[in-house]
Structure 1
Amino acid sequence: MICFRQSLLLGCAALAISAGSALAQDQAAQPTATPQDETTDLGDVVVTAERREQSLQDYAGVAQAISGKDLRAVGIDQIEDLQSAVPGLSISNQEGNVQIYIRGVGTANNTELGDPSAATHLNGVYLPRPRGLGGMFFDIARVEIAKGPQGTLRGRNAVAGTLNIIPNMARLGERLGYVQGEVGTLDTTGYEAAINLPIGDVQAVRLAVYGVDRGTAYKNVGDDKTLDPTGIQELFSARASYLYQPNDRFKLSLMGDYESERGTGYPATNIRNGLVNGGKPDDLELRDVLFRGPQGLVENDNWGLALNASYDFGGAVLEYSASRRSVDYYQVNAANEGVVRPGYGAANVDYDNFGTQYWLTLSESDIHELRLTSSPDARTVWSTGLFYFKEEQQVGFLSVVDKGQFYSGTEFTFPDVKSDSFAAYFDVTYPVSDQLRIKGGFRYTEENKSRNGVGGNWALGLGSLDYNCCFNSRLGTEGFRPIFTGRESYVAPTPGNNQEAAKYFMGAFRPGARDTFLDQIAGVAEGSRPNGTCINRPDIQPGGGGQICPADGQHSFFQISAPGAQSGSYEDSFSDYRVGFEYDFTDDNLFYGAVSTGHKSGGFNDTITVNGVATAPTFAPESVTLFELGTKNTFRPASGRIDVNANVFYYDYADQVFQTLVSLGTGPGGASAGFSQQNVNVAQSTIKGFELETRFDLPFRSRLDIITAYIDAKADSGALTDTRGTDYGDGTPNFNIDIADNDLPNVSKVNINAHLQKTADLFGGRADFHLLANYRSSYYLNIYNEAPVIQFADRPSDAAGQAAYDAFKASMAGTTVNPNAPLSSPFLRSTSARDGGFWARQEGYVTVNLGAGWEPSSGRYRIEAYVNNVFDKTVVEKQLVSDEVVNVLFLNQPRTAGLRLRANF
């Protein structure tokens, strides 16, 4: 059945662009206002949340549309900065993955094992891997954010909502363009240019380019000054669009885009060891980092092709769209020792340490969609369609430990990662009367995922039980590079077979200039030196002291292990629906209500082996059911116009996925076999609140937009392993902690956003001024909040106490502990989160952006200036916390300022 559906869609035609591009083409046919025509009048804000053009005041839901002009005016040129303009939106960037939370719904699992919770689109085209989005923020018409599940209309992984970047597309009959240059703080220089060219009366093309070189606010305060800090970025992007519209019935549009990104990586700060005695980030210089080892590096090439064709038969419009997107992403993490902290500085760092992480994501995805919709002037608005998505990936991750003994790193390499999704849907809005409309929609989705490759730890033990084991291995020094793709074989070696393991490593990486790892095992791979080769160099720093190489050059102790086979698969189906009503009290007063659902696809985890049985456990889809009531109102006093919109909402958030640790039991001799981090459906949550949006035309050519949101997002139930207190040296299965009543991460209860803008005649031209202020109350950065850390106490010294202790630990397997309750046993201990270095609460804050522009009456050129984050407020946008050494913070941009000059023609 799946094959039939695929062939149906793939054989429809070789035509395509964005799924929402009919809208973009309608917009393209409209004339563009010249700069001197732009005013602060409210007018109608256009949104496409329902995949058709609507005034915001006619859309029965909550959405925001921010024009490219307004974004530019307040200096927003990165997707992460959007959260300063949209209440309830939280965006961060981890290893190039853009992670979006809307009203507390979101996920940090954007690897090949997971999917984003908010669906990101470029001109309506779904982007399965939201990487490189900063390079798409140019020559844009607007950005739209729809809040709440959009499962029926937008479909795949729109459980939190959608973010749609809508670029300026080719327009018929217009010959215009611009060239822009920019300079700014952080050594920023940039350019942007676009031109729209008509080709006769029925064709047009638009070409746009963008480039920026941006420095970083991070500082390398270590002794190795050859290393550039993270955050340095070089972007180049280009976009071309084509429109063919021979008559009012047929439209054909194409778009191609390309982005190249180079730099030193995405900045973050590990503050775990800097948080002493209840300290918090305010006590530390979070951007002063002790860098060491390899230079951080990002190489990202991202391109897409899209095409859309539509034909209006009079009573209905048939549309076919398709796209292809390719992502080629490689990153070397900038290794560091965290921030300078009391008692620890540059002198404490081993700069000849090249242990770090390497990442690779290669993705090629195709989307096809066939839609049949009502004609634009129909009273009954309906649509139905088929959707098909396919993605193939090659993925690599390698964490290497330089100068390691026994543990040398962790690798996950997958040359074969596949996923596909099929959906069928319909949606209708039916007018019961001139004032009342009822609406309903349904979508059925099938998901399939699979993965094959290798994954696990690298281990090499060298030395002798006779002379103070052990010898170190150098791994990852200058010139080192993993071989993730193009290997002759991805077959995992047989466990315990040293020669197979050694052969595996011979093809796993290109060694660095001073690596010893391959030299130490080459003889094992060849079979000539079954116990390896003894190499004792001064820079290896063998532990224990006094080691010498035996006369035959081999070790009397040799142990090596390589990753094992990894495979997994997942199949599931689910349905989404929406039902609702719209009632017009007047043409300017709308009341609406709806129940709508959305799902985020489930998946599978890394393969684990417990008691000799290998499995890749699966997790189920997350789902959200939204209940909402709202009203949209426009008032027209003599002095101007006022829009007042309000919405109350209640989310039932089910099967929420969090990462937890699963013990792999004990190995030979009772030693721990380790742990695996697994995605598990552990929480049921409730999100409730309201949003109030007001927009005012004010005297003296001024306008004020104020949006206020209250969001109460809590876990109702759930239990998971507290990774903060994990003892990795103990193979005993962990107990869980109760997270009921904890706040969901990355969501503030109170959100207020205000945008004041004013225009004035000045120096024979027109000036405009903008103030964007954003307030967020405090929020937690992880699901643990700042609950106490519960751990097993130290093992007693007496035999009777040890027996009781061991029995208690065994009894705790799979049980749940309330971290806020009194301890139930003397064999447990509690540490406050802050005393343990697990600060996790971002206090409330205010950020302010300012912008100003001036242009002559001719509109031939324009000068703009902006200051972002005027008060230089440091904000933690995301946290990555696991154990006693990891508490990584991802920060906002510090205060920045810039100046632009634009020439229009």
Structure 2
Amino acid sequence: MCKFSAILAGGVSALALSVPAVAQQADASVEAQEAPAAADSIIVTADRREQAIQDYAGTAATFSGEELRARGIQDITDFNNVLPGMTVANNGGNVEIWIRGVGSSNNTELGDPAAAFHYDGVYVPRPSGIGSAFFDIERVEVNIGPQGTLRGRNATAGSVNAIAWKPGIGIWDAEAEIAYGNYDHAEFRGMLNVPLGENAAFRVAGMYLKHDSYYNNVGPIQNVDVAEAEDNKAVRAQLLWEPTDRLTILLAGDYIHEEGTGYTGTNYANPLGNGIDPRDIRNPRDVIAKAFTPDLDTKHWGLRGTITYDAGPFSVEYTGSYRDMVYNYNATTPLTPYYDGVYDNLSRREDVLAGGFVNPGVVLEEVYDNWSRFQSITDSRSHYHELRLFGEDDRLTWSLGGLYFREDQYAFLGSTGDRGLFFQGVEFNMPDVDAESWALYGDATFSVTDRFRVTGGLRYTDDSKSREGVASRYGLALGDGNFSCCGGVRYGTEGFAFAARDRTIFNPDTDGNGAISDAEVFAFWQNGVASFGARDNLDEILAFGPKGGDPFPVAGAPQCLDTVTGDFWTCNGFTNGDPFFNNQFTYAVPFQGQIFRQTGQMQDKFVDWRVRAEYDVTPDNLLYALVATGHKSGGFNDNLGDAGVAPTYDTEKVRLYELGSKNEFWLGDVRGRLNLSAFYNDYSDQVFTSLLSVAQVVDFLDGLGETVPLPENTSLALVVSYSYNAADSEIYGLNLEGGLQLPHNINWNFNALWLEAQIQNAEPIQDFRFQADVAPDEAVFQSINGKRLPRTPRWQLNTSISQSIDVPSGSIDWIVSAGYRSSTFQTIFNSQDFQNPNNPRLRLNDVVRGYATFDLGAGYTHGEGDLRFEVYVNNITNEQRESAIIITQFDNTRFFTRPRTFGARVRVGF
């Protein structure tokens, strides 16, 4: 704790030297800056009540809806570069939020985020699709640090709350906006507010947005599109009724439909394996596409009701919500990013076959026509109910409540291996995944004197999870007598479809004799396929059903397959001189399958608390100190073997210590703000999620002294998503935020963060960048003590300068903003190559180099604001950096921040 003591000492010194200060204006929108904003005009609900952000004794940020538009922010992922300490990545369609090094990459149906996302105060467990809700938004609040008492479970990093504009009683209002930008970006937004008598109002708002892919397909197959094209639609309707001065009823419903090509990332294994440094690839979004266009279909809708009654000495509020989200993604990843020499590397073939070397052109044609695919489905239905009592008088502000949350999920992940001889697919099919949480909480702030206040909060949570389903891996070896042919088994071509939720067999032991025969494995596999592809031949090769022997002859005479058409026939063999190299299948290893029924449950109970003291040195100077905790629920993993043990992991815990000062001041006629906080996070039982083989999981648990009994016929090679408590960590730093309101309506704002984040007291963990059955000498236990936590740049800065100028017909405004992030790592191994420390392999590289971004926006408002024109450029220098990197035995998959975007908007009010 010596580092924390030093931080506190520095913080106290800074507080003692601080001068009286001004309000926070977190980069308020340029349109709203026609006059300097007062401190009490920036409102947050971090303490579950509205208050000026400068009066909030903690760290929070708020972004108005106008600012989101001025900055060109489309969804939550764009916050990656606008708030120090916060990183956001779209990892294969899963939105991951990390705040000051605390986050989670467990995106399975059993995973939970570490930063809680709320939509109008309602917890959203699976935020897929919620990005399209960023229209007609009043503000987005980010609460930094554990919010265990006020925001509940899974808020160890903090919370994000998107707050929509509510209906305005007695107000007729309407607005329409159209926008166009590069990448053929087209957008429409509209809003209508209608008064219903004297005490009710109705508000409806909608949005349509589409743009082309941010990737460029530079390969020879030009009829195939690639990831990150969007075609999204959303609508929200709200009814506000105030039948009496004391009773308020708000009913709301929303519907979001996101389509497009989703988020596949790009696998850099090819260039890295050929010694190409990522820095030498000129454009990371130039890729070589193959097979087919990825297809995303997400439908997300919800209903919500809030009833508030003022009972005099206190108020009662009930919120009930139901949300339904179905995420369905069917995709294949690009072959590789483009670089000089890529085609030579793709056509290289190491196999020396009978008759000579394969024609490189034929190999390339097979590579482009590889339909290996995956499909991911998440169907989440969540119920949220909260009853809260709250009150405020001259000395006491308090809140007391109870919460119930339930989520019912269906989850599916399937893959096919096209043109393969030894691997034909994986399926995870989970029809029954349940989570339930109960909580009771209380929180109160008491004014000891007019200047000194103390806060205490307590929350009890009871969490449980359960799952029933099946996981399977299919394998088949086909070949000639020496298994030396080059490939050609087709599986997953156009027209292929998984059965997914239409599967009817979940227990492959259909005859109930306690053993699973090859015939039962074969039947189970076929039950998981709704339709084979037009050029699939695996079903025809295996049409005779499994036979005994190892190896055994394939139905009759040798079968020859055309690697392009997929046709096969009885033959006596072909040579490499044929137009298309044809493969002979005279023998096959029996159909092999590992089918693991999945069953598990978990229950945990924990208590969160917070204490805080705050003191007004002057009306413009606030000092505070707080300690707060947060928990992220533990859980269980995939079963090891058929209904075998499902290893569990414990609940994560974060304890925050923070000292801060919020200050307003005047320098002559210049109004200023300077806020400082010093913080220390004690992060214990930290959970990491890895893709490990069963053999690696067993070895890992053996290393911890836990013996895992495996059922018979368990495949040690099966790869599972495995979460485990790996280490304790410490995170500390300083945050300096402020600004000046200069003459001529010029506003300057800045936010700077110094952050240290190290892993401490870690058990040696298996290097999950390697697979035990492929690289047993490298998939071994390694120490990660002292490693830096992923996604924690040491230095972060955001700053902006803006101005509003009155002209005879209205006003002109502009804003220029800049951000800087120093380099960071994306995995806990920090790019270390344990076997080659002096010459690390590029494939293990997980560094994101430091970078700066610059944005520009300008607008003209005519008259009283009924007509407005805007232009914007985001990421002016086109800095594209990795927002996430996944490294496995065969992959180094990278997801990137948004490229340079620019456009113009016209908004009309009625």
Distance 2:444 2:302 in 1: 31
- Map Cα deviations across residues 84-115 of structure 1 (whole Å, 9 max, x no partner): 22111100101211100001111111221210
- Map Cα deviations across residues 613-665 of structure 1 (whole Å, 9 max, x no partner): 92110111111000001111122455242222111100000111113435427
Judged with a 3 Å threshold, the aligned counterparts in structure 2 of structure 1 residues 708 and 673 are, in CA distance, closer, same or farther, namely closer
Corresponding residue number in structure 2 for 1:892: 897
Match of 2:906 among 891, 897, 901: 901
Distance 2:252 2:333 in 1: 39
Corresponding residue number in structure 1 for 2:17: none
The answer to whether 1:854 aligns with 2:860 is yes
Match of 2:596 among 564, 571, 596: 564
Corresponding residue number in structure 1 for 2:802: 757
Give the root-mean-square deviation of aligned CA atoms: 2.8
Distance 2:235 2:541 in 1: 48
Contact map agreement 2:253 2:301 (CA 8 A) in 1: yes
The answer to whether 1:654 aligns with 2:684 is yes
Corresponding residue number in structure 2 for 1:588: 620
Task: Give the letter aligned to residue 899 of structure 1.
Answer: A
What are structure 1's unaligned runs of at least 5 residues?
Answer: 1-32, 791-828
Corresponding residue number in structure 2 for 1:678: 722
Match of 1:338 among 331, 336, 339: 336
Corresponding residue number in structure 1 for 2:15: none
Contact map agreement 2:833 2:844 (CA 8 A) in 1: no
Contact map agreement 2:326 2:378 (CA 8 A) in 1: yes
Distance 1:300 1:83 in 2: 23
The answer to whether 1:777 aligns with 2:822 is yes
Distance 2:525 2:808 in 1: 71
Structure 1 residue 515, shift from structure 2 partner: 1.4
Task: Give the letter aligned to residue 431 of structure 1.
Answer: S
- Map Cα deviations across residues 875-905 of structure 1 (whole Å, 9 max, x no partner): 111111122x211111111111010000011
Structure 1 residue 81, shift from structure 2 partner: 1.2
Corresponding residue number in structure 2 for 1:414: 430
Corresponding residue number in structure 2 for 1:634: 664
Distance 1:225 1:511 in 2: 25
Structure 1 residue 740, shift from structure 2 partner: 1.2
1:220-299 superposed matches below 5 A: 220-275=217-272, 276-277=274-275, 279-299=277-297
User: What SS does the corresponding residue of 1:723 show, helix, strand or coil?
Assistant: coil
The answer to whether 1:877 aligns with 2:852 is no
Distance 1:613 1:176 in 2: 59
User: What SS does the corresponding residue of 2:453 show, helix, strand or coil?
Assistant: strand
Distance 2:284 2:239 in 1: 46
Task: Give the letter aligned to residue 861 of structure 1.
Answer: L
Distance 2:881 2:778 in 1: 36
Task: Give the letter aligned to residue 785 of structure 1.
Answer: N
Judged with a 3 Å threshold, the aligned counterparts in structure 2 of structure 1 residues 500 and 472 are, in CA distance, closer, same or farther, namely farther
Match of 2:532 among 511, 521, 543: 511
Corresponding residue number in structure 1 for 2:196: 199
Distance 1:177 1:636 in 2: 39
Contact map agreement 1:388 1:422 (CA 8 A) in 2: yes
Distance 2:778 2:337 in 1: 33
TM-score (norm 2): 0.86
Contact map agreement 1:671 1:730 (CA 8 A) in 2: no
Contact map agreement 1:152 1:576 (CA 8 A) in 2: yes
User: What SS does the corresponding residue of 1:518 show, helix, strand or coil?
Assistant: helix
Contact map agreement 1:174 1:198 (CA 8 A) in 2: yes
Task: Give the letter aligned to residue 537 of structure 2.
Answer: T
Structure 1 residue 554, shift from structure 2 partner: 9.4
When structure 1 is superposed on structure 2, of 190-199 and 759-768 the one drifting more is 759-768
The answer to whether 1:55 aligns with 2:87 is no
Judged with a 3 Å threshold, the aligned counterparts in structure 2 of structure 1 residues 111 and 677 are, in CA distance, closer, same or farther, namely closer
Structure 1 residue 467, shift from structure 2 partner: 8.0
Judged with a 3 Å threshold, the aligned counterparts in structure 2 of structure 1 residues 654 and 51 are, in CA distance, closer, same or farther, namely same
Judged with a 3 Å threshold, the aligned counterparts in structure 2 of structure 1 residues 613 and 168 are, in CA distance, closer, same or farther, namely closer
User: What SS does the corresponding residue of 1:65 show, helix, strand or coil?
Assistant: strand
Contact map agreement 1:258 1:304 (CA 8 A) in 2: yes
User: What SS does the corresponding residue of 1:499 show, helix, strand or coil?
Assistant: helix
Distance 1:519 1:891 in 2: 41
Corresponding residue number in structure 2 for 1:868: 874
User: What SS does the corresponding residue of 1:563 show, helix, strand or coil?
Assistant: strand
Distance 2:872 2:185 in 1: 13
Corresponding residue number in structure 1 for 2:605: 573
Corresponding residue number in structure 2 for 1:311: 309
Task: Give the letter aligned to residue 805 of structure 2.
Answer: A
The answer to whether 1:187 aligns with 2:216 is no
1:377-776 superposed matches below 5 A: 377=393, 379-462=395-478, 473-493=489-509, 496-509=516-529, 510-524=531-545, 533=555, 536-539=560-563, 557-609=589-641, 614-660=644-690, 661=692, 663-664=694-695, 673-718=717-762, 719-729=764-774, 734-762=779-807, 764-776=809-821
Match of 1:105 among 99, 102, 107: 102
Distance 1:116 1:472 in 2: 41
Structure 1 residue 750, shift from structure 2 partner: 0.9
Task: Give the letter aligned to residue 761 of structure 1.
Answer: D
Distance 2:715 2:118 in 1: 49
Q: How many residues align?
A: 823
TM-score (norm 1): 0.86
Contact map agreement 1:329 1:361 (CA 8 A) in 2: yes
The answer to whether 1:168 aligns with 2:165 is yes
Judged with a 3 Å threshold, the aligned counterparts in structure 2 of structure 1 residues 396 and 613 are, in CA distance, closer, same or farther, namely closer
Same amino acid, percent of matched pairs: 36
User: What SS does the corresponding residue of 1:614 show, helix, strand or coil?
Assistant: coil
Judged with a 3 Å threshold, the aligned counterparts in structure 2 of structure 1 residues 269 and 468 are, in CA distance, closer, same or farther, namely closer
Contact map agreement 1:297 1:334 (CA 8 A) in 2: no
Task: Give the letter aligned to residue 861 of structure 2.
Answer: E
Contact map agreement 1:779 1:842 (CA 8 A) in 2: yes
User: What SS does the corresponding residue of 1:789 show, helix, strand or coil?
Assistant: coil
Structure 1 residue 75, shift from structure 2 partner: 1.2
Judged with a 3 Å threshold, the aligned counterparts in structure 2 of structure 1 residues 614 and 36 are, in CA distance, closer, same or farther, namely closer
Distance 1:556 1:880 in 2: 34
Contact map agreement 1:230 1:334 (CA 8 A) in 2: no
Structure 1 residue 179, shift from structure 2 partner: 0.3
User: What SS does the corresponding residue of 1:485 show, helix, strand or coil?
Assistant: helix
Distance 1:212 1:613 in 2: 45
Distance 2:213 2:483 in 1: 49
Structure 1 residue 863, shift from structure 2 partner: 0.2
The answer to whether 1:365 aligns with 2:382 is yes
Structure 1 residue 267, shift from structure 2 partner: 4.6
Contact map agreement 1:533 1:555 (CA 8 A) in 2: no
Contact map agreement 1:423 1:445 (CA 8 A) in 2: yes
Distance 1:893 1:454 in 2: 37
The answer to whether 1:154 aligns with 2:157 is no
Structure 1 residue 345, shift from structure 2 partner: 2.0
What are structure 2's unaligned runs of at least 5 residues?
Answer: 1-28, 348-363, 575-584, 700-709
Distance 2:900 2:775 in 1: 46
Distance 1:432 1:557 in 2: 79
Distance 2:81 2:484 in 1: 58
When structure 1 is superposed on structure 2, of 861-870 and 582-591 the one drifting more is 582-591
